[in-house]
Amino acid sequence: MGRANSQHSRSKSKNNLAQVPKNLKKESDGVYEEYSAELADQADKTAQARAKAADERQGK
Confirm whether 40 is domain-assigned: yes
Confirm whether 34 is domain-assigned: yes
Whole-angstrom CA distances from 33 to 8, 12, 28, 36 are 50, 41, 11, 10
Confirm whether 36 is domain-assigned: yes
pLDDT per 10-residue tile (average), the chain, 60 residues: 62 64 72 75 90 88
pLDDT at position 5 is 63
Confirm whether 38 is domain-assigned: yes
pLDDT at position 14 is 58
Confirm whether 5 is domain-assigned: no
Confirm whether 33 is domain-assigned: yes
Work out how many domains the chain is built from and give that number.
1
Domain range enclosing 22: 12-57
d(CA 7, CA 57): 58
pLDDT at position 44 is 87
Confirm whether 42 is domain-assigned: yes
pLDDT at position 16 is 60
Confirm whether 2 is domain-assigned: no
